[in-house]
């Protein structure tokens, strides 16, 4: 689904990503881990088209998103992918519900009624129906993050990118989000996430470990293992304390 070929990125004179390559298949759940400043978020932003790269290719279903024109990139963000930021980013002049359905209404691939219906369904699924008409400032961080996931899902994207989805949440909210993310993948959603949290990474079927802008290690879990334990051991084996 996504093929990343030797992408590199620098900020001023500092190389943040160095010829990174990997594949993401449909239905995959990939987690990116690594120490602070290793380039995890940069990698996520780069392969989701949210940031430019200096060299390499990111092929989405065979199309290089790095060569997409601005309008094509907008359409890609609108229809093909969903993005969830670490801190929920909502437009403050819209209610939570309107924030969720906005990308759907903009895409105009379905009627407004259908979009609103799906928005309600998503909110129900995320168990945040009660915050529908509220302002962003009137809901908790966890609720807002779930709303962000709803927004990311509104156009039935082919892939979901999550940047530290539980980074700003308390443990209860983290559990809720974890449950949702896991269910989404079980339902067939392709997911790529950046995380420090082993619990999140343990939900993934593949973990990429980045050090200094390069993939240092890759772990694929088999179906029936206790992934948290296996992950822990693997990380220890990498002489890293997560």
Partner 1 sequence: MEISYKEEYVSMKLLLNLVYKDFKRNKVITITLTFFLMISTLFMAGGLRVTGTIISSMKGLNELAIPPQYLQMHKGDYDENVFKGFVENHEYINDSIIVKMLDIRNANIIYQGETLENSLMDNGFVIQNEGFDFLLNMNNDIVVVKEGEIGVPVYYAEDIGIQVGDTITLHEGNYTKNLRVSTIIRDSSMNAALTSSKRFLINQTDLDEISGHMGEWEYLFEFILEEGTSTAILEKDYIDANMPSNGVAITGSQLSIMNNLSHGLIALIIIAISILLIMIAVLCLSYIIKATLADENHTIGEMKAIGFPNKAIEKLYQMKYIVLVLIASVVGYMAAIPFGDFFSSSAVMYCGNGTDEWMKWIFPLIGVILLSIIVIFRCKKTIYKNLRSSVVELLKGNDRIKKEGHYSLPIAGLRHGNLSIALGELKCKWKEYVVIFFVFIFSSFLILLPMNMKNTVENPSFMTYMGVGESDIRIDIQYTDKLIEQKDAAISYLEGDPEIAKYAIYQNSYVELQNSDGEWEYLRVENGDGSIFPLEYIEGGAPKDTEEIALSYLNASELGKDVGDHITVSYGGEELLFTVSGIYQDITYGGKTAKANIDFEDKDVEVYIIYLDVMDGVDIEEKTLELRSILTDSKITPISKFVSQTLGGITDNLSVISGAAIVISLVLVMLITVMILRLITAREHSAIAIKKSIGFSNKDIRIQFAIRILLIQFVAIVVGTLLANTIGEVILGMILSFMGASEIQMLVEPIKSYLLSPAAQLFLVFITVIVGSKVVKGYHIRGQIME
Q: Which is nearer to partner 1, 79 or 156 (CB)?
A: 79
**Closest CB to partner 1 among residues 82, 231:** 82
Between the alpha carbon of residue 62 and those of residues 53, 65, 149, 171, 183, the distances in Å are 18, 9, 26, 39, 28
Alpha-carbon distance values, 46 to 6, 69, 130, 179, 222 (Å): 12, 15, 35, 27, 28
* Residue 78 CB, nearest approach to partner 1 (Å): 3
**In the complex with partner 1, which residue's Cβ is closer, 90 or 201?**
90
Token pair, residue 170, equals 């308390």
Residue 191 engages partner 1 in binding (rule: CB under 8 A): no
- As a 3-state breakdown, the chain gives helix, strand, coil percent values, each rounded to 5, of 40, 25, 35
Q: Does 74 bind partner 1 (CB under 8 A)?
A: yes
Using CB under 8 A, pick the residue from 34, 39, 56, 103 that binds partner 1. 103
| 101 binding partner 1? (CB under 8 A) | yes
* Distance separating the N- and C-terminal Cα atoms of the chain: 29
Site for partner 1, rule CB under 8 A: 41, 45, 50-52, 70-71, 74-75, 77-79, 83, 85, 87, 89-95, 98, 101-103, 105-108, 111-112, 115, 135, 137, 151
């Amino acid at each position: 689904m996504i093929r990343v070929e030797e992408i590199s990125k620098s900020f001023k004179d500092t190389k943040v990503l160095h010829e990174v390559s990997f594949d993401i298949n449909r239905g995959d759940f990939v987690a990116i881990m690594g120490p602070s400043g290793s380039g995890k978020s940069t990698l996520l932003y780069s392969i989701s088209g949210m940031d430019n790269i200096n060299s390499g290719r990111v092929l989405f279903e065979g199309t290089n998103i790095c060569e997409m024109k601005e309008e094509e990139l907008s359409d890609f963000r609108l229809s093909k992918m969903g993005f969830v930021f670490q801190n929920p980013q909502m437009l403050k002049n819209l209610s939570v519900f309107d924030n969720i359905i906005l990308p759907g209404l903009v895409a105009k691939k379905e009627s407004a009624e259908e979009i609103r219906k799906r928005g309600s369904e998503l909110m129900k699924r995320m168990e945040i129906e009660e915050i529908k008409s509220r302002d962003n400032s009137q809901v908790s961080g966890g609720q807002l993050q779930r709303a962000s996931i709803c927004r990311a899902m509104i156009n039935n994207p082919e892939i979901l990118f999550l940047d530290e989805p539980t980074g700003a949440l308390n443990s209860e909210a983290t559990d809720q989000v974890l449950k949702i993310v896991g269910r989404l993948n079980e339902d067939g959603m392709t997911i790529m996430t950046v995380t420090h949290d082993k619990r999140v990474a343990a939900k993934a079927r593949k973990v990429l470990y980045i050090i200094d802008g390069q993939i240092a290690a890759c772990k694929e879990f088999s179906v029936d293992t206790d992934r948290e334990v296996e992950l822990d051991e693997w990380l220890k084996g990498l002489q890293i304390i997560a």
